[in-house]
Chains A and B, each alone.
Chain A
Amino acid sequence: MNIEIAGENSLIIYFSEHASPQVSAQVQKSSRLLQNVLADVLVDVVPSYASLLIIYDPLLTDNFYVLSTINRTLSDSSTAIVETGKVVTLPVYYSTESGADLERIALHSKLSVDEVIDIHQQSEYRVYAIGFAPGFAYLGEVDARIAMPRLATPRLKVPLGAVAIADRQTAVYPAESPGGWNIIGLCPQRMFDPKATPTMPVEVGDTVKFKAVSRSKFIALGGVI
């Protein structure tokens, strides 16, 4: 573990140089512990793949206190928490109609379109981080056989609900936005709804599974093509 100053009101804790489910679990556990012990001075936290950004109020405390609290809290192994991430299954309408890049991925990986769809559903994906846009969850890791580099020229419009792949990451676009990920299908489940409780169906540390649905089921679930 390595802790660096980020700014006048923040410290960043690096747990590893590489992402893995174990490191992610450590980030998640540390995030919960620190949110408890720093509650009085904490402004926000940003968990990511292998790091945790801690933002505090510098008019209520200082770097020295936060740093020593982090060290004390995270070195005490007796406060272990069993991780309780939930499993969320997201329906996906995979097709060449809803997944503009499916055929290109199949060609690239020397597989059939159906094989690409099958392989994407076989893995369980961990929510490593949420960011980029409200509700955008970074999910990993995609099976190496269907990993695909980002588009050289990002699309100006990726549709709401697009299920996409970038390298070994996958995600569901929470809103229509520009983006360079490879689209393989559409998910009717809203990933970010400011009026819903909870706002997002997933949080960092959860596990996501994808399950293929037909075009008609997709529409019945509220999907739009």
Chain B
Amino acid sequence: MSESNALGFKVLKPGMLTLIQDLGRFGCHNIGLTTGGPLDPNAFNWANKLCSNSSNTSCLEVTVGGLELEVQLDTTFCVTGAKLPLTVNGKSKPQWQSLSVYKGDIIKLGFACEGMRAYLTVSGGFNIKPTFDSVSTVVREGIGGVDGDKVLQGQILPFSASNTAHHNRLVKTPSYKKDVTLRVLLGYQHNAFTELQKRVFFSSKYTVSESCDRMGYRLKGAKTKPSIDGILSEGICLGAIQVPADGQPIVLMNDRQTIGGYPKIGSVLSLDLAKLAQCGPGATVTFEPVSIEEAHNILHLEKAVIELNPIEPIELLLH
């Protein structure tokens, strides 16, 4: 909940879907709360690094775009993730770079032309009271953000004024494709799928359907049918691939239900979920099996790559 009379950004237009997110809500599955958190943690983390914030600082996750903000306090901000037109007072500005804005400025994010989700943060993050130790918004649960809801027109997103002198930009920025390969760890009920069914699954191209949101991505393509229709309800981890009776896989994302009863063939690696989250309807998906050892290697290598990808300090450009 925001402090009354607090200043920050005034939301002129909230865009398609803008949510306050930090890294997520953990340790609350026992009361049925899901994790939430940024669908693309990579872009989220860079936004914070570029603003010299700590890793769990709150950002706005802007899906598709269309956000307009009026600046009420001087600050440094940054937009990463999906490629979209970014302007301050009508002047085009670069993404993946921290920028100064001053009281009265207008920040506009246009609509994404590459990727689906952009991340906007300010120096120090937003002053939002956490719920269950996190400000991540899960609209379905009415938890997090401002009153458990998405960002609304007219709202104030409060932050503390900051005149940070250091500006940074990322040297090597990611690009987002509409054709992604998702690495999968076989797991859960994978034994309920025959060798032939697994081959069909790993050799087919799937399309992202219209039904793709923070809870799950429904895919369309070759049917893979397990030998069982349902299971005793059990815990669902991030990236789990449910295969319901229609044989069409559903990849479960950050806002998934914590338990469910559909058979699962395995789970998508988190790094690849971030790529999937930058895909919209019509994007194509293929699956590739990996071992748990490979999965852990990939995670550690990616961590090293992130640390080696330099942030370049740039001189403060006068307003």
A6, chain B: closest CB distance, angstroms: 5
**Smallest Cβ distance from B184 to chain A, in angstroms?**
10
Are B141 and A133 in touch, CB under 8 angstroms? yes
Are B233 and A129 touching (Cβ within 8 A)? yes
Are B185 and A52 in touch, CB under 8 angstroms?
Answer: no
A50, CB-defined interface residue at 8 Å? yes
Q: When A17-B232, A62-B296 are in contact, do A7 and B32 touch as well, CB less than 8 Å? A: no
Chain A residues, Cβ within 8 Å of B28: 44
Q: In the complex, A210 Cα to B33 Cα: how many Å? A: 25
Q: Interface readout for B219-250 with A: 1 if CB under 8 Å, 0 if not? A: 00000000000001111111110000000000
A53 touching B32, Cβ below 8 Å: no
Given contacts A17-B232, A53-B237, contact A134 B296 (CB under 8 A): no
Interface residues of A in 104-139 (CB under 8 A from B): 129-136, 138
Asked whether A161 is an interface residue with its Cβ less than 8 Å from the other chain, the reply is: no
Number of B positions contacting A (CB below 8 A): 44
Instruction: Give the dominant DSSP class at B's interface.
Output: mixed
| Pick from B31, B236, B266: contact of A134, CB under 8 Å | B31
Q: A48-B235, A59-B303, A194-B131 are in contact. Are A6 and B31 (CB under 8 A)?
A: no
Q: Do B234 and A53 touch (CB < 8 A)?
A: yes
Q: Taking A48-B235, A53-B235, A134-B31 as contacts, is the C-beta distance between A6 and B188 under 8 angstroms?
A: yes
User: Is the pair B30, A8 in contact by a Cβ cutoff of 8 Å?
Assistant: no
- With A50-B232, A134-B141 known as contacts, the answer to whether A129 contacts B259 (CB < 8 A) is yes
Complex Cα distance, B233 from A130, in Å, reads: 10
**Secondary structure at chain A's binding surface: helix, strand, loop or mixed?**
loop
Of A17, A130, A175, A194, which is within 8 A of B30 by CB?
A130
- CA A52 to CA B94, docked complex, whole Å: 47
Residue interface mask A129-153, B partner, CB < 8 A = 1: 1111111101000000000000000
Residues of chain A lying within 8 A (CB to CB) of residue B131: 194
Q: Which residues of B are at the interface with A, using a C-beta cutoff of 8 A?
A: 26-33, 35, 131-132, 140-143, 185-188, 190, 232-240, 257-260, 266-267, 269-270, 292-293, 295-296, 299-300, 303
Given contacts A8-B295, A43-B27, A48-B234, 18 further A-B contacts (CB under 8 A): A5-B186, A5-B292, A6-B240, A6-B267, A8-B185, A8-B269, A8-B299, A18-B232, A44-B27, A44-B28, A53-B235, A131-B32, A132-B32, A132-B258, A132-B259, A134-B33, A136-B32, A200-B31
The 3 closest A-B pairs by CB, nearest first: A53-B235, A46-B235, A131-B259
